[in-house]
Structure 1
């Protein structure tokens, strides 16, 4: 009820009271008027009180309204700050998912940014071979090459070796040639499968070039991993490759064009032939490059690659004295890495080819044989691997994997002393106490079978320390 309404109600009540109490006697008129005056003053005082209280309520309402406006402004500011934090978090997540290019972390020389990276890796392994003692210079003392597993001899004892030969140095440059073009280079060195050094005194092994190429916009020119190979599908192993029998593995000079997920390349040709005595001959008579096409699909689920290769295999009369010949070699490969939740991924590869032996299992068999008429007979191969990685936490992970290889050798032309099958399996545990440093331990078993049915195996325990820089 408003102040005016209350006043009118009070007035009405007073008038009613006055009427009820009035008498016809003139003697009482003065006293009634006095009482009415007092009542009127009382009502006016009450009205003033009510007005004061109303003013107080209005002041409180204004204060509450001001507090509400202040809280609304504070809430809006808090929402804006929260959004800024979310945007920064997304930016950091993007930087982690797609780290800046390596040359951005280097130093500037004129228009060229220079950067380097790589790792120091020290391996200690003890291994035993069932088919014969390993030579002191055997590549098997560094990493698994199935074609080098001894077959047919007496079982060896355990051989222990220490090595830092996988240590790698990478040198990158990026030159400013304007916003419309990108010009870069990549040089990579390590010390595997090279001459020099000895275990007695120095272990001073000669460095070798692994990769050396230039990239200009969508073009790569130089020595790099073959386009037919999928480096991103290789498992997280302590061994250099881990699943060698089932792996496409090759580095060579090439010219490659990339557009989105599509890659087209012409690569160095090299026909490798098995002669009638089972020996390996590198003919060196190639006339056309190896042609490779690959397409990569990527997404939150992982990535998958499909690749194909076409080759012209060639020999000349001076190689075998049987005349010149050429044959078609070809192959297909499906590979990739699939994310299985937040802590697991599956890496795999499957390939088939006719005349692609030098690309498979570190050239476990050759590309072709020579038939009775001196013609090339391409050798068919089947290969594949699968590896599962699990992250136990941010510092500990483990991997298990297995690989298989099978050749369809024309035994009548190659003899039965060539590799027919090979397989291997491994399991490891890798601990990362700080981000750049890994300590790993791995158990590995590998086997090779010849066409005559004889087999040889390798059993290995390997420890590794690797510092990435």
Structure 2
């Protein structure tokens, strides 16, 4: 019983006793001793009530003190504050933690000679020339850790993301994404505005397959919304092309449109200056991606690129350009690539994907003849894959994938072979948190 309720009950009781005493006195004559006895009993009752109220007040104070101590003990350490289910940094930004623990393994019947597990289709050994056969490889380097931030301000929310994995040199920590957002602006490193992974069919391979790209670049990006279903994204990017002395950023544009909740496309363009100590050339490219939900459990994805003079955005291409002894740019590589696939969600626990990717380089004699070893450059590449994922419970995902691919080189090895083979079985286990 709380103090307010006791006060509510005791005051009327005392008032009733005080009123009743003169009424009793006038109603029936009583001896002076009886009156004094009644007054003494009322006084004792009031004293008992006051003592009980003091005990209740003391108990309430003790409970409040215990509650305050327990809240202090449960609070996060320095720099963090718990507010309901929200965590805050010392600077007042709300944040959430996410990531996964990922174990990859593969059995390579034929494939790349590098120790890393992931796609090496553009450099697999030609048949009969130091082939890398019957290898078992494993790693946990693709394990990720990420933080999403948001700080409310009078001018709108300021957001940010920091995501890392261990696919750097010697399994070292590397930055995947690190950027801030404010209004329609983004500054930092994230997926390239030109080489987006949104339209690649699902793979277990962390790098994807021929025809796709998983490029992340430092950039300044602006998004303009024409309508809820249509927006234009413009960016100035550092493409990190080691073959070029960058003087100007690459400029990219991407137009996204949703025809419906089940059909979306993305048209993209890129322009970049390639510079040596003696010469400059303009590289360019266009891309078109689409995804379509055939049913609520069946999705089709496709992505196409045509690029000239650049090898930094789309993966597994030939060098973008070649130079002579004077560092003059004498020829550029030009290629087309496409990837397409279908994903089926069989039920809440099982899904699978069938995919195919192809890349074809133009037969440019000036470019090809500039290479002394023509086995290092490819006329075409292709890969086909099939995978299945099983999630016994929501945080866990187990996957198995078979991939087969080939590369056809412009030049033949001493034994006459121009074909290299990628033939392997991939497996993955992930705990997402």
TM-score interval, smaller chain: 0.7 to 0.9
Superposed displacement of residue 420, structure 1: 2.2
Task: Give the RMSD, CA atoms, in angstroms.
Answer: 2.0
Query: Map of 1:243-254 to 2, 5 A cutoff?
Result: 243=209, 245-254=210-219
- 1:134 paired to 2:98: no
Query: Does the aligned pair in 2 maintain the 1:326–1:376 contact within 8 Å?
Result: no
Contact 1:230-1:305 within 8 A present in 2 as well: no
The residue aligned with 1:177 is: 153
Contact 1:146/1:361 (CA < 8 Å) preserved in 2? Answer: no
**Deviations along 1:310-355, whole A, 9 cap, x unmatched?**
1111111xxxxxxx11111111000122111111001110010111
Whether the aligned pair in 2 keeps the contact of 1:228 and 1:248 (CA below 8 Å) is no
| Structure 1 residues 382 and 465: CA distance shift in structure 2, 3 A | same
Q: TM-score, normalised by structure 2?
A: 0.72
Q: What is the CA deviation profile of residues 136-160 of structure 1, one whole-angstrom value per residue up to 9, with x for unaligned ones?
A: xx33xx2113223222514443111
Aligned to 2:379: 420
CA distance in 1, matches of 2:134, 2:408: 21
Task: Tell me the CA shift for residue 393 of structure 1.
Answer: 1.1
Gaps of 5+ in 1: 1-103, 196-204, 273-281, 317-323
> Within the alignment, does 1:301 sit opposite 2:281 as a pair?
no
Report if aligned partners of 2:395, 2:431 keep a CA contact under 8 Å in 1: yes
Mark the CA change 1:177 to 1:108 in structure 2 (over 3 Å): closer, same or farther: same
Q: Which has the higher helix share?
A: 1
Q: Secondary structure of 1:157's match?
A: strand
Q: How does 1:65-214 map to 2 (within 5 A)?
A: 106-109=86-89, 111-129=92-110, 134-135=113-114, 138-139=115-116, 142-152=117-127, 153-178=129-154, 180-195=155-170, 205-214=171-180
**Cross-structure match for 1:201:** none
> Equivalences for 1:38-437 in 2 at 5 Å?
106-109=86-89, 111-129=92-110, 134-135=113-114, 138-139=115-116, 142-152=117-127, 153-178=129-154, 180-195=155-170, 205-243=171-209, 245-260=210-225, 261-271=231-241, 282-283=243-244, 285-298=245-258, 299-316=260-277, 324-362=278-316, 364-370=317-323, 374-408=328-362, 409=364, 410-415=367-372, 416-417=374-375, 418-437=377-396
Tell me the TM-score normalized by structure 1. Answer: 0.67
Bigger Cα displacement from structure 2, 108-117 vs 304-313: 108-117
Rounded to whole Å, the distance in 1 between the matches of 2:252 and 2:407 is: 29
- Matched residues in 2 for 1:148 and 1:467: separation? 32
How many residue pairs match? The answer is: 331
Could you report, residue by residue, the CA deviation over 1:360-380 in whole angstroms, capped at 9, with x for unpaired residues?
Answer: 224x31111125872342210
3-state DSSP of counterpart to 1:232? coil
In structure 1, what is the Cα distance between the partners aligned to 2:239 and 2:348? 44
Q: 1:345 to 1:464 in 2, by over 3 A?
A: same
Seen in structure 2, the aligned counterparts of structure 1 residues 122 and 166 have a Cα distance that, compared at 3 Å, is same
CA contact (8 A) 2:341 2:355 kept: yes
Pairwise CA distance, 1:106: 4.7
CA distance 1:167–1:356, shift in 2 (3 Å): same
Larger relative strand fraction? 2
Seen in structure 2, the aligned counterparts of structure 1 residues 248 and 238 have a Cα distance that, compared at 3 Å, is: closer
- Cα distance in 2 for partners of 1:184, 1:447 equals 43
Using a 3 Å threshold, how does the CA distance of structure 1 residues 376 and 287 change in structure 2: closer, same or farther?
farther
Answer whether contact 2:254 2:267 (CA < 8 A) is retained.
yes
Work out the CA distance in 2 between the residues paired with 1:120 and 1:431.
Answer: 16
Rg bigger for which structure? Answer: 1
Contact 1:242 1:426 in 2 (8 A): no
